[in-house]
Amino acid sequence: MKQFLDILWLFAAIFLQQTVGKIMLNGTSISSDAMMPPILSCPDPVPAEGSTCDSPFSCDVGTFCCPDDDSICVPEKSCYCDASTSTVMCYDVMYQITCPSMCPTTRPETNDDCSLDNRFLCNYGNPLDCKDVDITYEFERQCSCYDGKFSCYDNSCPVPCPAAQPQDGEKCSLFAPGNCDYGSFCCPGDDGECVPDKSCYCDGIASYCYDTFISIPCPSVCPETPPNNMDSCDIDSRFQCNYGDAFTCENSNEEFGMISFDFEKQCTCYNGTFSCYNNACPEPCPEVEPVPGSSCSPFESFSCGYDEYCCDGADSDNCVAKTECYCQYDLTTVCYEPSINCPSQCPDVKPENGQSCDMEERLTCTYDEGMCPSSECSCVKGVYVCNEMCYGMVKDESMNVGSMAQKSEDQSIEIVTERKPKKKKINTKKDKSISKSKMSEKKMTKDKKGKKSERRRM
């Protein structure tokens, strides 16, 4: 697991520096609009849930209003066209609105009985201006009714960090810097670097502390000779063992930009064995499909696709790379067959786990069973194996995903959206970008022409 996280870390670091390089070196910036998915239009009239659809759309359906002010209304559902089934799917959204006429005149306490719809917000008190930290709150207390009981929270001005580390569960006010650090963990030696050992925060009710686990370079405890991956070790996992000199990649690819590394190799001790990864300058995809296990440098496109695999029959326009390769943390090549969704080759009804099957293992079948979970099934050694999953998709700029609240332009409305299913993108022959897929190492043949794959390993 740690090795996999190291891979993710390496690719994330390269991608970050790639983006920074493009911004800083080329003197250009990336528009936030370009990074957002397009806003889909809503047909009129809105298609009924369960009906057939043939093009993407996104619609808000129904209204929920404040009884004494019908100008304060929010949608009740959101509907979209499910690409895998060509069916209109709808899910409940939760928009909360401030409606004083529905609230008790006396501010309630948490766990007081209530019978309000949980979409109503009840605000109490005057605006609170925290001048020392430049924060202003619009109210002192906000309450909502859930399962017949009020749930309330109070705003208060943040305070400086306590001199001594607070105890877990200790009553507190928000800390002015957000988190407060305590204790120290140091690399042995006079010049050893130190980092905080604990960090504490307050949610406005009680304080909570946790171990920071911040890692630091510490040559004094590391082997002089760079260890190999899985060599035995006995040092704290927070110590980094870095080897080699700093270097900069003078990359000719303007799109990728210039990146620098502080070391050539880094090793960390986990559970008695070293986990190591190497830094190297990214290179274009090899023209010929690399041999699994061969040495490599990270590919500029993170992974490289070779040849093409397309669905049969009605889904013949759905294509992925026949083989995809990437350079892993120890600078050796891994190749695998990307999965692909071919709906016409899937059972109409979700199969049972263990049910016999006869289709290629790289084929996947998805079944939408509501908002969460959905299922993905594949044929493994002659039987179906199905996994449940949830997909999240940002609907538009005004909505946050995953039950996160944000204020709308009308401050009487607070939006809390639920997670919307997102289906795997199926690539067509007109769109050769390679979709994200599961890994299964396979030995592949040589001498196949390579092309850049746009997919990034997540």
Walk along the chain (458 residues) and give the pLDDT tens digit of each residue: 444 444 444 444 444 444 433 333 333 333 334 334 455 678 888 888 999 988 888 888 888 999 888 888 999 899 999 888 889 999 988 889 998 999 999 999 999 999 999 999 999 999 988 887 788 889 999 999 999 999 998 888 888 899 999 999 999 888 887 899 999 999 998 788 999 999 999 988 899 999 998 999 999 999 999 999 999 999 999 999 999 999 988 765 566 567 889 999 999 999 999 999 999 988 889 999 999 999 999 988 889 999 999 998 888 889 999 999 999 988 999 999 999 989 888 998 899 999 999 988 999 998 876 656 678 899 999 999 998 876 543 333 333 333 333 333 444 444 443 333 333 333 434 333 333 333 333 333 333 434 444 433 33
Tell me the C-alpha distance between 435 and 452, whole Å: 13
Is 374 exposed, middle or buried, given 0-12, 13-18 or 19+ CB atoms closer than 10 A? buried
State whether residue 24 is helix, strand or coil.
helix
Q: Under the phi-then-psi rule, with left for phi > 0, alpha for psi from -120 to 50, and beta for the rest, what region is 178?
A: left
Closest CA to 94 of 414, 422, 421: 414
Question: Could you tell me if residue 195 is inside a domain?
Answer: no
Closest CA to 135 of 157, 162, 113: 157
Question: Could you tell me if residue 350 is inside a domain?
Answer: no
The predicted pLDDT at position 426 comes to 37
**Entry field: residues in the chain:** 458
Task: Name the domain count of the chain.
Answer: 1
The predicted pLDDT at position 240 comes to 95
Closest CA to 81 of 89, 71, 73, 92: 89
User: Tokens standing for 324?
Assistant: 């995809």
The predicted pLDDT at position 458 comes to 33
Instruction: Using CA atoms of 188, 189, 191, 194 in order, give the dihedral in degrees to the nearest 10.
Output: 20
The backbone torsions φ and ψ at residue 12, rounded to the nearest 5 degrees and listed phi first, read -65, -40
Sign for the CA dihedral angle at 107, 113, 115, 120 comes to: positive
75 bridge partner residues = none
Query: 193: which residues sit within 8 A by CB, 6+ positions away?
Result: 186, 187, 216, 217, 218
Question: Could you tell me if residue 66 is inside a domain?
Answer: yes
Question: Could you tell me if residue 57 is inside a domain?
Answer: yes
The pTM (predicted TM-score) of the whole model is 0.50
Residue 447 CB neighbour total at 10 angstroms: 8
CA angle 113, 118, 121 (to 5 degrees): 90
Tell me the C-alpha distance between 413 and 420, whole Å: 21
User: Tokens standing for 73?
Assistant: 């209304």
Residue 111 DSSP class:
T
Sign for the CA dihedral angle at 405, 408, 413, 417 comes to: negative
Question: Could you tell me if residue 186 is inside a domain?
Answer: no
The predicted pLDDT at position 167 comes to 93
The backbone torsions φ and ψ at residue 131, rounded to the nearest 5 degrees and listed phi first, read -65, -30
Question: Could you tell me if residue 62 is inside a domain?
Answer: yes
Question: Could you tell me if residue 220 is inside a domain?
Answer: no
Question: Could you tell me if residue 72 is inside a domain?
Answer: yes
**Domain ranges, residue 92:** 40-98+408-416
